[in-house]
Amino acid sequence: MAKSYLDSLLGEREKIQLVARQHWFILISSIALEIFTILVIMAAIVTAAILFPNTILLAFVIGFALLMIPMVSMIRDILIYSHHEYIITNLRVIQLSGIFNKQVIDSSLEKVNDVKLAQSALGRIYNYGDVEILTASELGVNLFRRIESPVTFKTAMLNAKARLDSGQGWHAPDASESVPALLAQLDGLRKQGVLTEEEFQQKKAQLLAKI
pLDDT of 70 reads 95
Binned average pLDDT, 10 residues per bin, the chain of 211 residues: 74 86 92 95 90 85 92 95 92 90 87 89 93 73 87 92 75 54 73 70 75 61
pLDDT of 87 reads 93
Residue 42: beta bridge partners?
none
Specify the pTM: 0.70
Residue 18: beta bridge partners?
88
pLDDT of 8 reads 85
pLDDT of 172 reads 46
| Inter-residue contact 5 to 102 (CB < 8 Å) | yes
Q: What's the number of CA atoms in the CB half-sphere (13 Å) around residue 127? A: 8
